[in-house]
Structure 1
């Protein structure tokens, strides 16, 4: 297979350059992993290659392979290459999956050979990802980690020469991450090209090959993974590697106050799949608790049950009297699902300020603390990065001054530096308003730093 070359690739919003011009060679059998801060243009790189940039953005430059040239400003000239040359695993798998189709036929659509073999190939791929029981599910019946694996199966079944994997390990437990690494390595071993966009430094180390580090739409370091991930030259890369949760200093947590809620004998099943049973859980004002389990074990379902968003098959939840309905808040694992897609962010946040009687300065202070420019609020949710939208969702929730925040993988789209700053901001704000935290995460080091108590399903 031949190398895929990208020349002068850049992305503009009107006359504003969002991604500085860059030249890349994607070599068969060699990984290229892109690291960098949230909102630095990593996902724009992938969508510029595919021709799937959001409305209002345009790409310039050229893709060259097999003696052919594809100008990137023409988003339609690569459509016929989808599945055969190009495939993308998007950052938001829930929005990429068809909500009206079951998992098995949806994955089978990626097969490029004999249609009679498509279901068998799809079933084998799902089995390899531990999704045997999910082939008849609809996307809304999947956990975030399961949806990520289903999207991976659909993107890779056709054997495209270049796989663009945008945050493929997001929302996966350690066992599922190990499976993902093996599958990505198999893709490389078969002589295909791989461009992975990730905040997962462990994944970048495992894939090896080349690493490209981005900051503010600019490439600040590019070279062999073995060198950059052990002896980084640029100060930003050095700071990025030093910001992993296990390197954080210890965090002091407040003492628990009066009880907030009590769950007794909670159980939930979907069809023949029993998620959990006989779960007792108590949460008190101001305490910080981590909820840990494998992907698909029911962490999000249990949290939703405690908030009254999901009905328990058995058991009950008792709440402390005297608290308003807005006292119980959730940060969704997929922040794009938490915003109306056609409502500008400015309007969405202004409506919350009106509802809770907070001044505009309260929003400005949180934007500054989380390093988000006010200009982002003029955009639609689809026009900001996943990491930016995740922080905006956090701001919107904090403005409501809740008594309990159920945070479902609240930093899954953030680079290590931004994650560290965001978690410290979150804990500071929760301490200031006396809010309890129920944190769902697959990151044991993050759970150890951010919470004082852990519950395992």
Structure 2
């Protein structure tokens, strides 16, 4: 059985977004799709599943094991979901029911989709979540209180519970630290090693290397190059392929420490907590105007909770946070959220949302156009609703919205976790340029310690603080 896609074209009205594209994935040989944000990687997976957003249409031929999928009635196509073909969506919060506990959602897949008895389904769900490294206390948590990386692992467990032999994994490791990323890669590789079909969409070159098999690089909806993993990622033939491989944060220039001038945000002997549980204690930090500071550490350790505490969204468990000078003014402190879909109104176009922002705060509309262009985005994206653009594009639009308000402090929660390496580097350079021009302080949350050290210099490593607490 193989997955074959022939002459696939995805359209938004009269605008061609993807293709024509030919893709073949054989059992036991993973195919990794790399490419810039907005290249159409997720559209490929959605076209195969038959879940393209409203307003988009697909043409071409899609077959799985010789069976045509593209001309099946919707009910027959949906009957294959979970049992024969499964997708791990790019945004875990879109895939999970916010009103169901994580272990219940995984158990439901085992019981309803796979047809297992409920007692067995619940036991398997607990085993799945433990096997993905989720601590027992988080198994029965609601998705809204989980970190992005933890929610991604719950979504992975739910998507794979029924044993589908074809898995489409859309950015399955984004937001995960290296150790958790490697755990998920091993699970993905296991799908292929057992004779399954694995198509993995990723912006992480390290993931594609670890999976092996074949690699396809997309740009602007077209194939740039395709071939064996070791060939494409060792000696790429295209200019974009070379830029993609070379854009690893390890190759970025180091800016050294950048504490900034007069402090605008200070934390002393801070302890952070979520759900009544203390996560990390003894945090001291200070950042001044024009300064940079990074908060790093594994998924689930409290990076986003620390950012929420600094923003005043949740109170400290102990210690104090002081916002000085400019940071006390209305709108002066802005947070860039880790989950961009939750930051936009889902039922109005992006253009309407930006126009409302301009009117509400009497902003310069020309600055909006400048920022969108500077972040490498097409103005045409504004005509769509949030669900009709990629996660990476939506994250850059969220960044543009924050920058329009000219904040004195930017709290950036994983601003590049959804971006390909080339775009990631470009966006971080833009953040650096604009915050320098505006003399704004930036506190960056990232799971990538190398990126933190290269871009910010000063790093608060929560893993180190947590280890010190355990040793004490």
Same fold (TM over 0.5): yes
For residues 361-400 of structure 1, the C-alpha deviation after alignment (integer angstroms, 9 at most, x for no partner) is 2111111211111111111111111111111111110111
Residue 313 of structure 2 aligns with which residue?
A: 309
Match of 1:438 among 443, 453, 459: 443
Match of 2:220 among 209, 216, 219: 216
**Could you tell me whether the CA contact under 8 Å between 1:51 and 1:74 is conserved in 2?**
no
Residue 379 of structure 1 aligns with which residue?
A: 384
**Could you tell me whether the CA contact under 8 Å between 2:264 and 2:289 is conserved in 1?**
yes
Q: Matches of 1:44 and 1:394 in 2, distance apart?
A: 23
Q: Matches of 1:366 and 1:427 in 2, distance apart?
A: 13
For residues 251-282 of structure 1, the C-alpha deviation after alignment (integer angstroms, 9 at most, x for no partner) is 47755111212223332334574311233332
Residue 59 of structure 1 aligns with which residue?
A: 58
For residues 61-89 of structure 1, the C-alpha deviation after alignment (integer angstroms, 9 at most, x for no partner) is 22223442222586554101001111111
Q: 1:225-240, aligned counterparts within 5 Å?
A: 225-240=229-244
Residue 359 of structure 1 aligns with which residue?
A: 364
Q: Matches of 1:168 and 1:35 in 2, distance apart?
A: 13
Q: 1:92-131, aligned counterparts within 5 Å?
A: 92-111=91-110, 112-116=114-118, 117-131=120-134
Q: Matches of 2:283 and 2:255 in 1, distance apart?
A: 29
Q: Greater shift after overlay, 142-151 or 9-18?
A: 9-18
**Could you tell me whether the CA contact under 8 Å between 1:330 and 1:407 is conserved in 2?**
yes
Residue 19 of structure 2 aligns with which residue?
A: 20
The alpha carbon displacement at 1:119 in A equals 0.9
**Could you tell me whether the CA contact under 8 Å between 2:2 and 2:66 is conserved in 1?**
no
For residues 219-268 of structure 1, the C-alpha deviation after alignment (integer angstroms, 9 at most, x for no partner) is 11111101000011112111111122222233477551112122233323
Q: 1:245-256, aligned counterparts within 5 Å?
A: 245-251=249-255, 256=260
**Could you tell me whether the CA contact under 8 Å between 2:11 and 2:17 is conserved in 1?**
yes
1:200 is aligned to 2:204: yes
Question: Between Structure 1 and Structure 2, how many residues are aligned?
Answer: 456
Q: Indicate how the Cα distance of structure 1 residues 412 and 200 shifts in structure 2: closer, same or farther if over 3 A, else same.
A: same
The alpha carbon displacement at 1:9 in A equals 2.0
**Could you tell me whether the CA contact under 8 Å between 2:48 and 2:70 is conserved in 1?**
no
Residue 154 of structure 1 aligns with which residue?
A: 158
Question: Aligned-residue CA RMSD in angstroms?
Answer: 1.7
Match of 1:388 among 381, 393, 409: 393
Match of 1:287 among 291, 308, 322: 291
Q: Matches of 2:320 and 2:217 in 1, distance apart?
A: 49
Q: Greater shift after overlay, 311-320 or 445-454?
A: 311-320
Gaps of 5+ in 1: none
For residues 7-33 of structure 1, the C-alpha deviation after alignment (integer angstroms, 9 at most, x for no partner) is 222211123221112222221111000
Q: Greater shift after overlay, 109-118 or 262-271?
A: 262-271
Q: Matches of 1:75 and 1:24 in 2, distance apart?
A: 23
**Could you tell me whether the CA contact under 8 Å between 1:10 and 1:18 is conserved in 2?**
yes
Q: Matches of 2:243 and 2:325 in 1, distance apart?
A: 46
Residue 258 of structure 1 aligns with which residue?
A: 262
**Could you tell me whether the CA contact under 8 Å between 1:49 and 1:72 is conserved in 2?**
no
The secondary structure found in structure 2 opposite 1:110 is: helix
For residues 283-309 of structure 1, the C-alpha deviation after alignment (integer angstroms, 9 at most, x for no partner) is 222210010111101110011011111
Q: Matches of 1:268 and 1:424 in 2, distance apart?
A: 30
Residue 469 of structure 2 aligns with which residue?
A: none
Q: TM-score, normalised by structure 2?
A: 0.93
Gaps of 5+ in 2: 463-472
1:278 is aligned to 2:278: no
1:342 is aligned to 2:347: yes
